[in-house]
Amino acid sequence: MSKVKDAVKLMKDEEVEYVDVRFTDPRGKLQHVTLMHTEVDEDFFEEGFMFDGSSIAGWKSIDQSDMKLIPDPASVYIDPFYAEKTMCVHCTVVEPDTGEPYDRDPRGTAEKAEAYLKASGIGDEAFFGPEAEFFLFDDVRYSVEMNKVSFEVDANDAAWNTDTAYEMGNMGHRPGIKGGYFPVNPIDDAQDLRSEMLSTMKRIGMKVDKHHHEVASCQHELGLIFGTLTKQADDIQKYKYVIHNVAHAYGKSATFMPKPISGDNGTGMHVNMSVWKDGKPLFAGDKYADLSQEALYFIGGILKHAKTLNAFTNPSTNSYKRLIPGFEAPVLRAYSARNRSGCVRIPWAESPKAKRVEARFPDPSANPYLAFSALLMAGLDGIKNKIDPGPSSDKDLYDLPPEELAAIPTVCASLREALENLEADHDFLLAGDVFTKDQIKGYLALKWEEVYAYEHCPHPIEYKMYYSC
């Protein structure tokens, strides 16, 4: 109740006029409903708010549409963008007649994953540190019609604009292809914009530490400090929200598409993970790279189930434009200390408390609640079943002889392949009812729609290759 009282006190202290109740749909998009502050008191946090779930893709049919949002008082913050003073709160979804968690609610899945970890006896807390990149453009246009399929993006600082004629002149300072990591201004012209993004995040209570230009032209990253699974998924939703809106205020457009442009690096969301038990880091030990045996088994689970995980960690058809060789993409199912070319890395750390493993294949098109939960479940399956990850790969995997490269398994090459793997290999996700068969069925149905839409649409490059055949 103390969190509830704190939330109500914040409303009064800040003279809040509106309360924005927010939840996340299966695809990972943040949704909201805004209430007058007079509708929100201590009872509201217990009784929740009814809404129509039939309008959310992948949820209920029209004849079973009533659903209830239960606000989490620990998640409240003052919105930094609305003109009227508004307090935001993240919610989980429950069945209104029973009060039981709705099994297709992503945030509820994350909470169940944390509960399962404790019940398993393996650990008490799982910490996640995602590193989500994004692109900034000044102009974005696209069309998908029966007679026209096209897109065009532009940005003043893009590598392709070195010879563009501007009314005020072309200053010439811009990063080249794969040249954005990371020279100072004026080549990096987004310093103030990123600083405002980071400062805004700090003002709404997020733990942040840095920002910088990324490798690709127009690509950027802000740093989040690690947190527990559900809270960190909440923070990724806030991260996207702040970046989209600050960019919009600057007259720019931010995108978390994994591969919005061709010929340069794509956008990833590396996910650092650790498990703690009894106040001690479970992953610190005397094995490879000072990892514990449990950490190696955790890696074994990630590598074994990587192709299934792709359905959640790389859930867009565009994800697989990034997961290709040649652009620092972690395609190979291998692990190593420091080496960034495998899909799992063990970052160097002086303190045992900082010992962690990093999954490098996820991208920010993922629903963070589902992606983090699936990663944890795969790792715990590795620990439970003592899955050996095999020997580490400490060579540069991008420069292996063809015969060695052929022996290393890969992640999926398409969303279709990822969904087929999820259909065939999902028992580990059902442990503890963290995920349910109904939830996976609904998620698959949504994602197959995207695959069919993508596969049935002619692509401009097909005209280039085949029109005169």
Q: What is the DSSP string of 359-421?
A: E-S--TTS-HHHHHHHHHHHHHHHHHTT----S---S-GGG--HHHHHTS-B--SSHHHHHHH
294 is a catalytic site residue:
no
126 close to 117: Cβ distance less than 8 angstroms: yes
- Cis ω before 186 (30° cut-off from 0): yes
| Domain encompassing residue 71 | 2-102
Q: How many domains does the chain have?
A: 2
411, 331 Cβ separation under 8 angstroms: yes
Of the residues 71, 102, 133, the one at which a domain ends? 102
Clarify whether 52 is annotated catalytic.
yes
pLDDT value at residue 326: 64
Asked whether residue 196 is marked as a ligand-binding residue, the answer is: no
Strand spans (E) along 12-64: 18-24, 30-36, 49-52
As a whole number of angstroms, the distance between CA 304 and CA 309 comes to 10
Residue 340 belongs to some domain of the structure: yes
Q: Which of 37, 212, 340, 416 is catalytic?
A: 340
pTM: 0.96
Q: Which amino acid is at 402?
A: P
Average pLDDT per 10 consecutive residues for the chain, totaling 469 residues: 93 97 96 96 94 87 82 97 98 92 96 98 97 97 95 94 91 88 89 97 97 94 97 98 98 97 94 97 96 98 98 98 80 85 90 95 98 98 97 80 84 97 98 97 97 96 95
Q: Which helix (H) or strand (E) holds 89?
A: strand 86-94
Q: What pLDDT, on the 0 to 100 scale, is given for residue 249?
A: 97
Separation CA 43–CA 96 (nearest Å) = 16
- Rounded to whole angstroms, how far apart are CA atoms 88 and 106? 18
pLDDT of residue 328: 66
- Residue 29's CATH number: 3.10.20.70
**Of the listed 104, 211, 270, 356, which one is catalytic?**
270
Regarding whether 401 and 335 lie in a shared domain, the answer is: yes
**pLDDT value at residue 272:** 98
Does 112 fall in a domain? no
Residue 14 known to bind ligand: no
221 assigned to a ligand binding site: yes
For residues 179 and 88, state if they share a domain: no
> Is residue 32, in this structure, part of any structural domain at all?
yes
Q: Is 358 annotated in the active site? A: yes
Active site residue 462: no
Q: Same domain for 178 and 292?
A: yes
Report the 10 Å Cβ neighbour count for 135: 28
328 labeled binding residue: yes
Whether residue 150 sits in one domain with residue 80: no
Q: Is 21 among the domain residues?
A: yes
Biggest CA-to-CA distance, the chain: 71
Whether residue 167 sits in one domain with residue 65: no
| pLDDT reported for residue 396 | 75
Token pair 């979804």 is at which residue? 93
Residues 185 and 318 in one domain: yes
C-alpha–C-alpha distance, residues 449 and 382, integer Å: 32
- Note whether residue 118 is domain-resident: no
Query: Where residue 273 sits, what CATH number does that domain have?
Result: 3.30.590.10
Within a domain: residue 120? no
Active site residue 163: no
The reported pLDDT for the residue numbered 42 is 95
Verify that 166 and 58 share a domain, yes or no.
Answer: no
Determine, yes or no, domain membership for 109.
Answer: no
Do 407 and 318 lie in a common domain? Answer: yes
Q: Quickly tell me which residue has 């650092």 as its tokens.
A: 272
Annotated ligand binding at 272? The verdict is no
Give the model's pLDDT for residue 54: 84
What per-residue string of b and e applies to 77-101 under the rule 16 or more CB within 10 Å gives b?
A: bbbbeeeeebbbbbbbbbbeeeeeb
Q: Are residues 297 and 412 in the same domain?
A: yes
C-alpha closest to that of 331 among 255, 404, 408 = 408
In a domain, 154, yes or no: yes
> Do 325 and 366 fall within a single domain?
yes
